[in-house]
Structure 1
Amino acid sequence: MATVFLVEDDMRLSQLTADFLRNHDLTVRQFADGSNLLSHIREERPDILLLDVMLPGEDGFSLCRTVRREYDGPVLFLTARDTNFDQVLGLELGADDYVIKPVEPRVLLARINALLRRVQKDPAAKNHDQLQFGKLQIDRASRKVMLGQEAIQLTSHEFDLLWMLAENASELVEREKIYTELIGREYDGLDRSADVRISRLRKKLNDNQKNPQRIKTIWGKGFFFVADAWE
């Protein structure tokens, strides 16, 4: 059973959410705030973290920034503020997804399961689940990325996005494919989630943000992983 950490200060909502998830074969640990959250994560290594944005004390954005230093599992924000700014900021801080409260419990469960499926390790994974382009090495079985001698720390969603791009090296990966297969929803023409994640990948992989040479944007269409740009 996957373990969910739920950080939500509304105790009634927290209990209703936890009960629903437990009824669908998930183990849930509830927290009313972010006090000692990182310590609990170190001890139990949850499979997914659900973070309310508006919390007493340290808010969800700050907590996400803190835990991302050590935790590479999925982070899903729960936010009552339906603004592009909040959503983009959450993604830039390392969240994998967000839902707007109030959320239908089955929708939340579907989002959680989608994130968990992406990070489950395939027990039959072989060594051929590796890609290498010059100094860049990507290992799908261990979900590790090396750039030269440097280990690149990616979130679960960043890794999946990089693998999708690299697996289709020198080919256009359309936005619609990223949204439907990785993000889990249709692209509406306005959602910037993919752009934010691409920007984070470029930064971590030492690509030029203003004039990218390794992961290029094909405006109006999608993204292009340059196979010979990793020497």
Structure 2
Amino acid sequence: MSTAGKAASRHLSVSQVTSGYDRADVLKGVSIEVRPGAVTCILGANGAGKSTLIRTILGLNRVRSGTITFGDASLSGMPTHRIVALGIGVVPEGNRVLPRMTIEENLQVGGLLDPYPRRVADRMEAMFAVFPRLKERRAQLAGTLSGGERSMLSIARGLMTDPELVVFDEPSLGLSPLFVSEVFGIVRRLKETGLTILLVEQNVRQTLDVADHGYVLAQGRVVASGETRVLREDAELHKAYFGVHH
């Protein structure tokens, strides 16, 4: 699976970050490290602060204290489009697409930050090679696609920025079990290319199977972290934070 992505060489570092909405702090001193070429997962129940963490990394929420860096660049206070241009792509929650645009037009929107049309065209063909179902329907309106097809399009559009790191925000949300397995298969294949991935999910078992390192959020704090092979065996952690028995 070739995505023509950039060689992963930069750490994403979130250090003691506090962030939230209005006067309420949602994240309370959160620290995570996303290593180059690895899959790092953020797990937690609804309301744990996962989406706020992603929004803060992407510049959509202000960092109230702490630091966020990508390589040598500080992301604090940087607008979202510049963060994306640095090499951080995003696959948003809910498989969001532009419903009144075709598949091809959605992908073109994903490549708008690149000033070289030839490069955008080449990247689109690379996405069609990865997702042949999208190529077959390239002229179809995105709003008429199935849930699984919208998920593929959302992922492909996130990769159109040629990112070094991709943030997946709840990619399995609302999908049937068949398409959930397909999405995690795509994440595995992207991992094999050396792409750095930050995976935010509630699907505990499949996430721990594909990720290398994980963090568990609860009430805006990191309550556990480590290699996923260790987290996978922590039955009490599963019971306490996810309501499932290992």
Higher relative contact order, chain-length normalized (CA < 8 Å, sep 6+) = 2
TM-score, with normalisation over the residues of structure 2? 0.30
TM-score, with normalisation over the residues of structure 1? 0.31
